[in-house]
Structures are given as C-alpha cells and as structure tokens.
A and B are shown apart, each in its own frame.
Chain A
C-alpha cells in the first residue's frame, strides 16, 4: 500500500493533537493530546522504516515509547501535585509565574 496514505494519516492525527493541546484547559486532556502527537510520530517512524526496508525506524519508535512512558509518569505526578496544592487541574489556574 502506498506509504503516503500513512503519512497523511499521521499528519491528521498530529494536527488533532496540536488543536487539542491549544484548545483544552484540563491539564490531563492537554497531556493526552501530547501523547497523540507522539503516537502520530511513531506511525511515521514505522511507515518510513517500511519505505526504506530498514528496522532502525522501528527501533526509534521503541525509544519514543520508552521516553513517552517516563514522561507520562513524571508529568502525571506533577499534575497530581498541582491538583493537591490548588484543587484544580486547569492549566489556566496555574498562573503564579505570570508577569
């Protein structure tokens, strides 16, 4: 199957992730949008691994998954900490550093 279909699918998913990241205010959903973007990039890695007949792309995708898992663990604990301190998971409310 023509790999450009997968590329377009990845672009659509990435765009949806970007829009979700910008629009939503719930920190959890913002985080999920980041995950969606990471996943769409993984799809690109796997697709181009098939295009060039080289497994290095799949290895990169594996590393992206590892980093994403670590990032989710730390990010979610930060969200829990902010929620504990401010009783809110809204990114608009965390404005202490605002000038």
Chain B
C-alpha cells in the first residue's frame, strides 16, 4: 500500500491550471478596463494550453500558444490601443435588471449543462497514446487526418483565411472624406486667412532662448516682456502649460545684478 496517493502529471496540471483559469476568466468579465480583460484572457489561454499538453495533445498545445495567445490576443491588445484604453463603460443599464437577469441566465445554463453532462458522464478514457503512436507522433497523426479525410475542409480554411484578411483590409481601410491639401492650396488658405482675419501669414516665432534654457517648451518674450503663446507648440502648452517667464528670466537678471554690484564696488575703489 502506498502512503502517497498516486498523482499523475495530468492531475497536477488540472488542479493548478483549472482554478487559475476560472479565476482569470471571472476577472476578465469583472475588470473595468479592456486591457486587463485581454491580459487575463491570455492567462486563461496559456493555462488551457498546459491542460492540452497534459492530455497528450502536443500539437494543439503549441498552436494554442502561438495562434491564440500570440496572435489573437495581441490583435486584441492592438485594437484596445486603437480604440482607446480609457473608453469608460457606462454602468447605466439600458434594460432594467439586465445584469441580474444575465447572471441568473448564466447560472441556469450552468445547471442545465451540469445536469445534462452528469447524465452522460464518462469515467474511463481510452487515451490517445495509441492513436498518436499509429503514425509515429501527435503531429504526424493530425497531419494524416488533415491531409487525408479532412483535406477539403483544410483547403476551405485557406480560402476562409484569405477572405478574412482581404475583408479586414477592406473594412479597416478609411476613405478620405476631403481632398488632400497640397502646398499651393495651403499657401492660398494662409493668405486668405491674412486678408479676412488678419492672421500673420509668415512662420511662427522661435521658442525663447534664456541664460539657462533654450528648450522648445520655453516661450519667447515679446518686446513688452509678456509671453508669446505662439512660440510654443499647442500640444506642449496643453500638456504642461506655459512656463513662467519670470522664473526663466530670473537667473539672467540675478547675474546682471551681481555684475552691476561688482562694477559699482570697483568704481568706488578708484
């Protein structure tokens, strides 16, 4: 009699990956931000791949990681980046009691599934070792199936993938709504703006050059000592605001003041 209960690798994988998968799936539904949802779904898929490996499906283990976690989930992350990470989801229910009804429907479906599956529970498993060994391995066995009885379906999937790629390109291609402005048209628009609104048609002023700063974020000063807002890019102004002109000028002023003081002393000595 063995003291340690007989535990197989498949059981270890199941009891480690199963709970992680369920937690990550629940987290995917509960996370407010789509990025977190995508990452927890990737976690579910990696754990699922481990469970495939523990069930002697080595080809699907690799494909699950490469295709699902590597390609599909990264596509999701790209689209989250395009669509905006901070798209906030309104918590207002359009239909009253929608969330509760949905959760109840989910629980009902689970009970239905559990009862239906409980009736047809299977206890023993033949195992795919024999099927794998028939052609010398899991990949070879799947290849014999895909290029044998399922070769038509396999060819159809290639047509499907090409159609999907073309469809995505057609759908994601944005038509230009207005004609592209060339240099001539832009120059004409500038002069038009000058004639009607009096906007200066020439280039904008440089950013300011100070004793200690000449970054593009430091604004230039006008002859009367005020800040010229045009001298700094509008994007920088929106991000961090205009720098305070007094603090930029202060070091130069202090240096001049100390110079004047030294000059005054030497004049007194003379």
Contacts and interface: CB of A to CB of B under 8 A. Distances in A.
Interface of A: 1-9, 11-20, 22-26, 28-29, 31-33, 35-36, 39, 42-43, 46-47, 49-56, 58-59, 61-63, 65-74, 76-81, 83-84, 88-90, 92
Contacts of B94: 92
Contact of A12 (B22, B52, B125, B157): B22
A78 B22 CA distance: 29
Contact of B125 (A3, A8, A16, A66): A3
Interface string B151-179: 00100010011011101100110100000
Nearest to A61: B60
Contacts of B163: 70
A63 B21 CA distance: 23
Contacts, number: 239
Contacts of A56: 145
Closest 5 CB pairs of A and B: A53-B126, A22-B102, A70-B164, A19-B106, A20-B29
Given A9-B18, A32-B28, A39 B48 contact: yes
Q: Interface residues of B toward A: which range?
A: 35 or more
Contact of A84 (B37, B146, B174): B174
Given A32-B76, A65-B67, A88 B87 contact: yes
B160 A66 contact: yes
Given A29-B28, A89-B83, A92-B94, A22 B145 contact: no
Interface in B113-127: 113-114, 117, 121-127
A39 B76 CA distance: 16
B34 A12 contact: no
Interface stretch (B128-136, B219-227, B257-265): B128-136
B210 interface: no
Interface stretch (B6-14, B198-206, B233-241, B244-252): B6-14
A50 B7 CA distance: 19
A56 B60 CA distance: 12
B60 to A, nearest CB: 6
Given A9-B21, A25-B89, A47 B55 contact: yes
Contacts of B60: 42, 46, 58, 61-62, 65
24 contacts: A4-B121, A9-B14, A11-B113, A12-B22, A14-B113, A15-B109, A26-B89, A28-B80, A29-B28, A32-B76, A33-B29, A36-B28, A39-B48, A43-B48, A50-B128, A51-B124, A51-B126, A58-B128, A59-B150, A66-B161, A67-B157, A80-B82, A83-B83, A84-B174
A13 B44 contact: yes
Contacts of A89: 34, 83-84, 87
Contact of A35 (B41, B63, B79, B110): B41
A54 to B, nearest CB: 6
A15 B67 CA distance: 23
A46 B181 CA distance: 57
A53 B131 contact: yes
Given A28-B38, A66-B160, A79-B79, 16 more contacts: A2-B125, A5-B18, A16-B106, A29-B29, A36-B25, A43-B52, A49-B57, A50-B126, A50-B127, A54-B131, A55-B131, A63-B157, A69-B72, A70-B160, A78-B171, A88-B87
A62 B125 contact: no
B51 interface: yes
